[in-house]
Chain A
C-alpha cells in the first residue's frame, strides 16, 4: 500500500510517501503485524530561516511560504524514483538538496503538464498512490489550509481516498516509522511536547486515547523559545538552550543523585506543579522566574549558561516526574515520547533512564522524526485507515468535499 502524507500545520511544509506491505491478514488486534515498511521519500522544507528574523512564527509569512513550497515539495516526494528502481535505491530524500527555486519548478511543472498531460513521472506515481493522509489540525489556520486544499485537490483529481489526521496523533505514530510492528505496548502513556503542545495521553489501543492532562498556560517548547529570547540565545529556543546548557560545566563531586548543581551561581528555578495531584503542567511561571533571575543578577556568559542549564533541568524534571507518575497510576506497559522537544537529548536520556528503572518499554522517534514531518502523518493515516470497515473506507473517496481545518482540535 502506497500512502502519501502531507503536513503544513506550522512552519514546515512536508510531504512523504510510505510503502507498507502487510504480510499477514490484518485483524483489529494485529494491525501492522509483520508488515514491511519502506519510507520511499520524506521531504521537509522548513521556514526556520525566514522566521528567525522575527524570533517566532508569523502566520502570514508561514502561509505564503507554504503556498510557494507545497508544489515543489509534493513533486520532490513523488519524483523519487525509488519505487521503480528497486530496493537498493530506496532511501530518504533530502529536501534541501533537491529543491529548486519554487517559481522555477512551478513553471516547469505547468509547462510539462501542458505538453503531455498525465505523462510526467509525478503524475504516473500519483496514480499509484492508494491513500492520501493530511493534517487537518491543530495548528495555524492559514498554514493548515494550504496542505489541506492541496490534498483535497489531489484526492478529487486522481480519485484517491483522503484521510484526515490529527497532528498530535501523527507525532505519536512517528514511533512506528522505525518498525511497523511494535510488540505488546498498550496501554501506553504518551507525552507529546512541542512548541505548541504539551499533552499527556493514555493510549489504550490503536486510535483510542484518553487525555490525562496538558499545559495550563505555555507549552514546554514555548517556554524554551521565550526563555531563549530573554537570554538572547536565538530562535528556535530548544536547540539554542540545549546547546548553551551543554557548555555549562558540572562542578565535579556534585550531587550524588546526578542532578547538575549550579553551585557557583546558586540558581534554583522552581519546578512548577511537579507535586500537584493532577497531570497538568504550567510553564508560564518558570519563564517569569528566569526573568527575575536576569534582573537581580549580573549577567555574564557563565551565568547565562548556568541559567540555560537550570531551565532545561526544570522543564525536563517536571515532564519526567508527571509522565512516570501517570505510568504508575495507569499501570502502563510503555512510555512514548514525541514532538519537537523530544529531540532534546537531556529529556531523551533521563526519560529512558526513569522508564527503564521501573521496567517499562521506552519509545522515542529518531531526532529527524521528532520535529514536524509528513512521514508520521502518512503512518497515522495508515493505522486509522486499517481501523475502518469497508463501507467507511469507500466513503473516504468523498472526503475532499467534507474535511475542514480545525485549529484547536483535541485528541480523543
Chain B
C-alpha cells in the first residue's frame, strides 16, 4: 500500500481505515492541516485514531464534539502536537477563530486535523490535505479520497 498525492483507496473494514490513518501519519512532518470530510458514521474518528497511533500518541483519542478542540502532545523530532478539531456543531469558521484556532492552524511542528471541515472551509489555509470518506457499496466498505495541496509532493 502506497500513498501518492491524489489517491483513491477502498477500505473494507474499520481496521483498514485505521491502518490508512496510521500510514499517513508516517508521511507527516508537522505544519500540515488535514481537512476530513464525511458523514456521521463514515469513520472519521477511526481514521484519526489510526493517525494518532502512527504519530506515537498513547493517550485515548476521544470525540471533541463537546469541547470542539483537543490537543495531544507528540514525542517525535519534528512533530510536537496533534490538534484535533471537530466542527460538527459549528455553522461557520468564525466560531473556530473565536476559540483561538489560529494559534494552532499550520503552526510549526503542529499537525491539525479538522473533522467536518466542509463546514468551516473559509478559514482553512489553501495548503491543506483533503481527505474525503464516502460509504462504499457494501456495509463496511469506505471510499477514501486523499488530495494533497501540492501535486508535486508525494506524501
**Is B40 a contact of A196 with CB atoms below 8 Å?**
no
**Is A60 a contact of B66 with CB atoms below 8 Å?**
no
What is the 8 Å Cβ interface bit string for chain B, positions 118-143, against chain A (1 contact, 0 not)?
A: 00000000000000000000010000
Interface residues of A in 138-191 (CB under 8 A from B): 138-142
- A250 to chain B minimum Cβ distance, whole angstroms, is 28
Q: Which residues of B contact A408 (CB under 8 A)?
A: 67, 70-71
Q: Ordered nearest first, which 8 A-B pairs have the shortest CB separation?
A: A196-B66, A56-B89, A288-B41, A291-B41, A60-B95, A218-B63, A60-B98, A217-B45
- A121 to chain B minimum Cβ distance, whole angstroms, is 36
Interface residues of B in 42-85 (CB under 8 A from A): 43, 45-46, 49, 60-63, 65-71
- Residue in A10, A57, A195, A216 whose CB lies within 8 Å of B62: A216
> A58 an interface residue at 8 Å Cβ cutoff?
yes
> B91 an interface residue at 8 Å Cβ cutoff?
yes
- B42 to chain A minimum Cβ distance, whole angstroms, is 8
- Residue in A55, A58, A222, A287 whose CB lies within 8 Å of B66: A222
Who on chain A is nearest to B68 by CB? A59
12 contacts between A and B (CB under 8 A): A59-B90, A59-B99, A60-B94, A140-B99, A141-B67, A216-B62, A217-B63, A218-B45, A222-B63, A292-B41, A408-B70, A408-B71
Q: Which residues of B contact A141 (CB under 8 A)?
A: 67, 99-100
Q: Which residues of B contact A1 (CB under 8 A)?
A: none
> A268 an interface residue at 8 Å Cβ cutoff?
no
**Is A196 a contact of B67 with CB atoms below 8 Å?**
yes
Q: Which residues of A contact B62 (CB under 8 A)?
A: 214-219
**Is B63 a contact of A219 with CB atoms below 8 Å?**
yes
**Is B95 a contact of A59 with CB atoms below 8 Å?**
yes
A residues lining the B interface (CB < 8 Å)? 10, 54-60, 63, 138-142, 195-197, 214-219, 222, 226, 229-230, 280, 284-285, 287-288, 291-292, 407-408
Q: Which residues of B contact A55 (CB under 8 A)?
A: 89
**Is B67 a contact of A140 with CB atoms below 8 Å?**
yes
Q: How many residues of B contact A (CB 8 A)?
A: 29
Q: Which residues of B contact A60 (CB under 8 A)?
A: 94-95, 98
For the complex, what is the distance from the CA of A39 to the CA of B90, rounded to whole Å? 36
Q: Which residues of B contact A219 (CB under 8 A)?
A: 62-63, 66
Q: Which residues of A contact B100 (CB under 8 A)?
A: 141
> B104 an interface residue at 8 Å Cβ cutoff?
no
- Residue in A54, A59, A287 whose CB lies within 8 Å of B40: A287
B residues lining the A interface (CB < 8 Å)? 14, 39-41, 43, 45-46, 49, 60-63, 65-71, 88-91, 94-95, 98-100, 139
Cβ-Cβ contact count across A and B, 8 Å cutoff: 85
For the complex, what is the distance from the CA of A54 to the CA of B95, rounded to whole Å? 13
Q: Which residues of B contact A140 (CB under 8 A)?
A: 66-68, 99
For the complex, what is the distance from the CA of A407 to the CA of B100, rounded to whole Å? 13
Who on chain B is nearest to A137 by CB? B67
For the complex, what is the distance from the CA of A285 to the CA of B139, rounded to whole Å? 13
For the complex, what is the distance from the CA of A59 to the CA of B66, rounded to whole Å? 10
Who on chain A is nearest to B139 by CB? A292
Q: Which residues of A contact B14 (CB under 8 A)?
A: 285
Knowing A54-B89, A58-B89, A219-B63 are in contact, say whether A287-B98 is a contact too (CB < 8 A).
no
- Residue in B61, B69, B89, B99 whose CB lies within 8 Å of A57: B89
**Is B91 a contact of A58 with CB atoms below 8 Å?**
yes
- Which residue, B68, B89, B100, has most C-beta atoms of chain A within 10 A? B89
Who on chain B is nearest to A280 by CB? B60
**Is A56 a contact of B88 with CB atoms below 8 Å?**
yes
**Is A195 a contact of B98 with CB atoms below 8 Å?**
no
**Is A139 a contact of B67 with CB atoms below 8 Å?**
yes
Given contacts A59-B90, A60-B95, A216-B60, list 10 more A-B pairs with CB under 8 A: A58-B91, A140-B99, A141-B100, A142-B98, A196-B67, A217-B62, A218-B45, A222-B65, A284-B45, A287-B40
- B152 to chain A minimum Cβ distance, whole angstroms, is 36
For the complex, what is the distance from the CA of A55 to the CA of B41, rounded to whole Å? 17
Who on chain A is nearest to B98 by CB? A60
Q: Which residues of B contact A57 (CB under 8 A)?
A: 66, 89
For the complex, what is the distance from the CA of A219 to the CA of B62, rounded to whole Å? 8
- Which residue, B14, B43, B63, B139, has most C-beta atoms of chain A within 10 A? B63
For the complex, what is the distance from the CA of A284 to the CA of B64, rounded to whole Å? 12
For the complex, what is the distance from the CA of A215 to the CA of B69, rounded to whole Å? 17
For the complex, what is the distance from the CA of A214 to the CA of B63, rounded to whole Å? 12
- B25 to chain A minimum Cβ distance, whole angstroms, is 18
Q: Which residues of A contact B49 (CB under 8 A)?
A: 217
Q: Which residues of B contact A222 (CB under 8 A)?
A: 63, 65-66
Q: Which residues of A contact B98 (CB under 8 A)?
A: 59-60, 63, 142
Q: Which residues of B contact A142 (CB under 8 A)?
A: 98-99
Q: Which residues of A contact B95 (CB under 8 A)?
A: 58-60
- A68 to chain B minimum Cβ distance, whole angstroms, is 16
For the complex, what is the distance from the CA of A221 to the CA of B111, rounded to whole Å? 29
- B83 to chain A minimum Cβ distance, whole angstroms, is 12
Who on chain A is nearest to B90 by CB? A58
Q: Which residues of B contact A197 (CB under 8 A)?
A: 66
Q: Which residues of A contact B61 (CB under 8 A)?
A: 217
Who on chain B is nearest to A55 by CB? B89
**Is A284 a contact of B63 with CB atoms below 8 Å?**
yes
**Is A229 a contact of B67 with CB atoms below 8 Å?**
no
